[in-house]
Each structure stands twice: as C-alpha cells, then as structure tokens.
Structure 1
Amino acid sequence: MAFGALPLGHAHPKVVETITREVTRGTHFATALEVEVEVAEILVNLLPHVDKVRFANTGTEAAMAAFRLARGHTGRRKIIKFEGHYHGWSDAVLINTNPYPPTLLGHPNDPIRIPDSSGIPEEAWKDTIVVRWNDVEALERAMAIHGHDAACVVTEGVMSNMGVIPPKSGYLNRMQELCHQYGALFYLDETVTGFRLAAGGAAELYGLSPDIVTYGKALGGGLPMAMIGGRAEVMAGLEWGKVLHFGTHNAGRLALHLTKVMLETMLADNQAGFSRIKDLGLKMGSEVRRVAKANNRHGIVVQGVNSMFQVFFTEKEEITDFRDFCTYVDRMKFRDFALRLMDKGIYMNPSATLHSLSSIVHTEADIAATARAMAEVLEEMP
C-alpha cells in the first residue's frame, strides 16, 4: 500500500471529501494554522513518549532534523546505526542499507561501512558507526568504544528494509538502557512502523520510551507528512536560534487535514482501525504459511508483525538480521514469485527487501484470493 502510506486505502471517502473541501479554502499558507495545533494535540495525547512535535514532509527530512537535534542537544558528533536499517537518503546515514554479497560486509564485530550511492563524500559518514542489529553483545561492544561520543543510537522498531525482521526479546529495551548509561539519545525511527504496528507504533508494542522519535508514511494518510517528536527537554532545542529546521512546505495544510482524518478514523471506536489492520495482517501471514506448507518444494519462511509481513524464500527457519538476509534469502526467486502473482491480479512489490501491509479496506475475501493465487504460483514455479 504505497510503501505503507495508505492505512485507509486508496481514495477513502473521508480522504476524498476532506481534500475536496479543504483545497477550496487554500492549498498552502506557509504559516502556523489551527489544524497544526489540533493534530499536535492528538499526537501528544496519543503518544506518552512525545511531549512536543515538529512537522516535516518526508521521513528523510524528519530524520535529518532528528540527527541535527541529537548532535545539538548532546554536543556530540557520532551517530550509531545498524546494518540494513534505512533512515532516508541523506548522506550521513545512506550506508549499509542495501543487501550486498556477504564477502563485502566485513567482520560482524567491525562491519565495513559501504555508501549506497555515488556522490557521497567520506566526510559525510565518517562519524556514523555501523553495528550488527539484533546482537546485544555487538551493541554493548560498540557502546563501550563509541558510546561516550555518540549523539544518538538510531533504530527501527522492526527492521523494515530487509522484509520484516522483528527484534529479539528484550533487545530494544537493552538498547534503550545502554543509551541512558552512556548519555546518548535513544532515537526510534517509526517512519514505517508508526501508526501501523499499533496506535503507538513499535514504542507501544515493545514498551519503549525514546528520547526522539520520527514518523512518516502512514502519518499523512496519503499526502507527504512527517514528524519529529520527543521529550520536552530535547525538543526545546528546536526553538529559534538553536537547532534550525526550516521548510516552506513543512506542516502542509492539506496533508495536516489528511493526518487528522487518518488519526480520527483509525482511533475511532476504541482504536478499531488499528485492530482491523492487525487482524488482517496476521490472517494474511497465517494463510501464506498454510499455502507454503502445502507446497513444500520451496523453502519459505513468512515473517510478520501485526499488519506487516514478508515472504522469504530461504532454507533457514528464521531471518534475524541483515547478514542472514544477504546470505540466505533468494531474492531472484522472490522476484519471480511476485511477478507471477501480478499476472494473476495480485500485487506484491518484487523486491524482497520490502514487505506487504494491510489497510482497513482490505477484506477476508482479499486474503482468500491472495492465498489462492499464491498456491497456483507456487505450483507453477520451478
């Protein structure tokens, strides 16, 4: 669903009604508006770890602001990130986000830093430390070396750029403890997981209290919208004259109105929308597992968290980190699988690094149709 940007699906009646009404009242004013305050109040009341918010347009922009804020707040330079985690396409963190041959990755205790694009000078990422994810010992080792110089440790709640890879039990909680121990800010990037895994995202699901958090994708209900949030003490750094964050289209009026519609719709009737996408996602994952088990010629593992799931063609029982993905997941076989599904009217992105998501307008009939098509495709595949 548009890489996670459409929890209400395509052209939801409330979305169409809102855009049609509000566009006649002005597309953009580049100044603070009442709807900005209304949305901020909803978010602060919903998210216990967020005292104040600041709006941006994309997850990349929000992350850039968060990194600058972390450096300004702590007076430190280093950023600790994890292999396979994507935090936007800015120069400082666009490293080790794509799957590479395992022989290029270096030792797990000392990953080789690999820029994912031409045009990124080494100076941009020299203070970015890359660590193996889901490995407590690797994190403790990295913090012992770099923790006192780290402005923040940034992580996704669920690794979402290598399919769907959940955190091991207690891993994120230990990460949060280590951040507090070394004085680094704990930065939870909820661009993908926010307003998807639960109303409070991965923070709610795993019992976390991040110092800084960013959201995007689903937040805008289909229009560009992102957010930086966090503790009041940290967010105070964004006051005028301290850590600067500009943008003509930040807090865009139409996008804020859709954000408000998305939140009100998903939260109505005791968060029924979030319960709905969770149930549908879990049912879809269960059906895919059933189909895969019935056709055991192909090694298949289905991994998911609530509304998110992905199909891995692998002989491993579980994919737990970036190196597992690079080594054991057959991406070309998944591509063949996805393209064959398209021929049957079912869309799955052909990149194994991505994942599928449910929306409130999906139905049990959609799940059944998808399962039937998958069964046919697995029979046809060599």
Structure 2
Amino acid sequence: MLPNTASGQLYQRAVNVLVEGVSSASRGPANYAPYPPYMRRGAGSRLFDVDGNEYIDWMMSFGALPLGHAHPRIVEAVQREVVHGTHFATALEVEVEVAEMLVGLLPHADKIRFANTGTEACMAAFRLARGLTGRSKIVKFEGHYHGWYDAVLLNTNPQLPTTLGHPNDPIRIPDSSGLTLGSWADTIVVPWNDEAALTRVMAAHGRDVACVVTEGIMTNMGVIPAKEGYLKFIQAICKSHGALFYLDETVTGFRVGAGGCAELYGLKPDIVTYGKALGQGFPIAAICGPDWVMDGLEWGKVLHYGSHNAPRLGLYATKTMLEIMMEGGAVGFQQLQACGRKMANALREVINAQKRHPAIVQNVGSVFQIYFTDRDAITDYRDFCSHVDRNKFRLFANALLQSGIYMSPANTLHSLSSLAHSDADIQATAEAVARTLETL
C-alpha cells in the first residue's frame, strides 16, 4: 500500500529511479523515517513540503543560506541577470567585483580562484600544496570532512568504539568501498585537539608533509570547537616543518563571522577554501591565499580547470549576499551569530529543565548541535563515536519534524541560524523541543 501522503507517494516513485530515492545519502531513509519529506518551496526561515506542511528550517541547506530562503534581494538580482544569460564560461566583470570584495574582506587572501563545490576546491588545494612544496603527504584529522575526494575519505564517519584502537594509534578507516590503497597512501590521520599526537607525527614525517588541513570548528561531528590555542599550535608546527597550514572553511566561512574561523581565532592560514554560504544557495566555491601560494596556479603550473568555475548567476548571488551582510559595519554577521547563540541557549534551558534525557548543546556563533550524552563536552571524534547516542538524536529529530521543526536527523551534521530567523522562531522551536523530549 502506498503511504497516504504526497511525500510518501513521491518516495515510492523515487526509489524506482533514484538511488535511495534521493541524490545525496544524507537526505535519504538512513536518516529520515520512514521516508524524507519532499520540499516544494522555501521562504525566509520556512520550508514547505509537497503535503503543505510548514517547517521552521534550522538546516538551511547545510549552511548554504545565511540570508534564509528566497531573500528578496537575491531573487531580484537573479531575476535581473538570468534574462541576460545563465553561464558564459568566459571572464566576467562580476567575477572581478566579487574577487575584489573577498580580497578586501579577508586579510589572508591576496588572490582568489573560484570553483564549483567545496569538494572540488579542497581537491585543488591539496594539489596546490603538493605542487608548491614538492612534498607528497598530507595530514588530516579524525572526523574532519574535506569532501568525498578519495585521498581524504578516511574517518569522516563515526565508527563503532571497538574499531577505534589505542588512543596513540592513528586510525585509518576508509569511509567508502572503491578506494585503492594508493589513493590514501600519502594521507596521515591524526586525533584532533591533541598537540602531542600531531607533534609525534610531524617529528616522524614533517619533511614529507605538504600541508596540514583542518576545519576551524569540527562541523562534521556536530559542533566541536578547537581547544584554546590549538589552531595556532597547528599553524606554528606547520611553519616549523615547512608545511602549509590549510584551513578548510567550507562550512564555517561567512557563518561564524565575516572572516570565518581565521578571523575568529586570529589565524594566518596559507590556503583557505570556501563553499556553502558563499553562494547563498548557488553552487560556488573558492580557493584563496597569499600571492606566493596562489601564484602556484598561474600558467598551469598546478592545473585547475572547470567549465562552470565562477558561475555567473552564483556570483551575482554571492555579491548580493556579501553586500547585505556587510551593511552597517558587518551588522548581518553580528546578527547571525547572536541568533545562533540565542537558539543554543534556549535549547540548553529546555534540556536542563527536563531530567529524562541527558544531553548538552555545543555551539560557536551561528552553528549549534544537540548531543545526547552524559559527558559535559564532546571534544573529538573518539568522544563522538563512543559517548553520543546518535540513534536517539535521529528519533528526536524525526519526531521534531512532526511539530514543524526541521533539523537534520544526522547527528554528524548541525543546525544553523540565518538572518531570517526570529525570536518567535526560537521560542516555537524551544517549545517543540520540550514537548518532544517529554514523549521521546
């Protein structure tokens, strides 16, 4: 029998023509029970599905919508420009304008190279680091995600505690079949937030390391901030070994401040990549750094091609987003962080008021996540794997959907505020969370 909803009926059709009925595993039945809601439109802080249900959206396209859905000025800019063409694959005036805006905004960026997605930008950044240094190895951290590029698809998904091994042993668990041993032979995996572990690795391999790559905030296991001083430690140890310090801001860029984690933590990275929020819903990414790094891409020394690099409509959306966020002295970025902190604090109050489900809320500015755990804090991948009840969170988030609150049911992901969210949205969400915890 077909489910008695339009989403259910769509799902029954979709599984016949789409893998798992969707186009990305995080959207499918592994997270949503018994099937995902199929969305029809968005407006402001709201999503509306094909059954007419309305949701307060705290996922915001995995962080790609700092302004919320269908912001009037984004709509106006795209409608104005689409009549003149969608994509030219040529040099563009708006490409120069947006690059000038970014270089003016980001003190660590002398030059920009636009790409299509965060994964693609990361791939180019790794090649650039290797091309500049003449070294082959890269260092990544357990639980960090830098796209689905073969060489870094290690320990990005939580594993069972029995697979974790001794705390001093590196974990190298591939997250996909189809990877060859050679595809990650030069990738070294290190526990995060552990200065001693990175010191040991760099002492042993530092002369061969092209770059150390890190998220500024570990956003692939919810929201796990770096310990105080840890990111500057990474920066310093890279310099001492002649490796590049690569900060992946695909998630955090234009989300936790105008200058992202680089600004928030006072960093001077050699390479930075951006995606998600940069395009305000359009696929666009960027690689940036000082001249001496970015010059490595000149004249094909380190090749980076792309028919859709610097997409015309996406650049107009980016330009408009940056203009809005920077008005009045970057008030938009301040408002974004304040809303996220207010939502996180409201969730803490609700969780602390109930006694049935031990849980905590971790956040940095606009980015927040709930963990069902008896720990006071989750500090790394191993904590997450061993001490977080991910199944309870999935049940919780799916139950919240019935109250019109949209959070990703994957505890590895996170929720985000936007300029469209209001105090009323925060109150309604907190009340729905309280009801859901009572019945969970």
> Normalised by the shorter chain, which TM-score bucket?
over 0.9
What residue number does 1:166 align with? 225
What residue number does 1:217 align with? 276
Pair 1:235 & 2:267 matched: no
Counterpart among 143, 157, 170 of residue 98 in structure 1: 157
Pair 1:130 & 2:189 matched: yes
Match runs of 1:149-228 below 5 Å: 149-228=208-287
Deviations 1:178-228 (A, max 9, x none): 000000000000000000000000000000000000000000011001000
SS of residue paired to 1:244: coil
**Cα distance between partner residues in 1 of 2:246 and 2:283:** 22
**Cα distance between partner residues in 2 of 1:179 and 1:8:** 36
Contact 1:163 1:310 in 2 (8 A): yes
Counterpart amino acid of 1:272? V
Counterpart among 428, 432, 436 of residue 369 in structure 1: 428
Pair 1:348 & 2:407 matched: yes
Deviations 1:245-275 (A, max 9, x none): 0000000101011010111111111111101
**Runs of 4+ deviating beyond 4 Å:** none
Pair 1:380 & 2:436 matched: no
| Percent pairwise identity | 67
Contact 1:187 1:213 in 2 (8 A): yes
SS of residue paired to 2:188: strand
SS of residue paired to 1:332: helix
What residue number does 1:114 align with? 173
SS of residue paired to 1:111: coil
What residue number does 1:22 align with? 81
What residue number does 1:44 align with? 103
What residue number does 1:336 align with? 395
**Cα distance between partner residues in 1 of 2:169 and 2:77:** 51
Contact 1:6 1:221 in 2 (8 A): yes
What residue number does 1:314 align with? 373
1:94 Cα deviation from its structure 2 partner = 0.7
**Cα distance between partner residues in 1 of 2:167 and 2:85:** 53
Pair 1:4 & 2:63 matched: yes
Question: Could you list the runs of 5+ residues in structure 1 that have no partner in the other structure?
Answer: none
SS of residue paired to 2:344: helix
Deviations 1:325-372 (A, max 9, x none): 000000011011101110000011101000000000100000000000
What residue number does 2:347 align with? 288
Contact 1:101 1:326 in 2 (8 A): yes
Contact 2:209 2:243 in 1 (8 A): yes
Q: TM-score, normalised by structure 2?
A: 0.86
Query: For this pair of structures, how many residues does the alignment match?
Result: 381
**Cα distance between partner residues in 1 of 2:387 and 2:171:** 19
Name the Cα RMSD after superposition: 0.6
**Cα distance between partner residues in 2 of 1:293 and 1:105:** 31
**Cα distance between partner residues in 2 of 1:82 and 1:295:** 35
Pair 1:84 & 2:136 matched: no
Counterpart amino acid of 1:5? A
**Cα distance between partner residues in 1 of 2:267 and 2:286:** 18
Contact 1:109 1:131 in 2 (8 A): no
**Cα distance between partner residues in 1 of 2:119 and 2:300:** 23
Counterpart amino acid of 2:342? K
Pair 1:33 & 2:92 matched: yes
Counterpart amino acid of 1:271? A
What residue number does 1:323 align with? 382
1:107 Cα deviation from its structure 2 partner = 2.4
Counterpart amino acid of 1:196? R
What residue number does 2:330 align with? 271
Question: Could you list the runs of 5+ residues in structure 2 that have no partner in the other structure?
Answer: 1-59
1:241 Cα deviation from its structure 2 partner = 3.0
**Cα distance between partner residues in 1 of 2:418 and 2:78:** 20
SS of residue paired to 2:218: coil
1:112 Cα deviation from its structure 2 partner = 2.6
**Cα distance between partner residues in 2 of 1:112 and 1:163:** 20
Counterpart among 348, 360, 372 of residue 419 in structure 2: 360
Counterpart amino acid of 1:335? R
**Cα distance between partner residues in 2 of 1:328 and 1:225:** 36
Deviations 1:134-175 (A, max 9, x none): 011111111111111100000000000000000000000010
1:109 Cα deviation from its structure 2 partner = 2.1
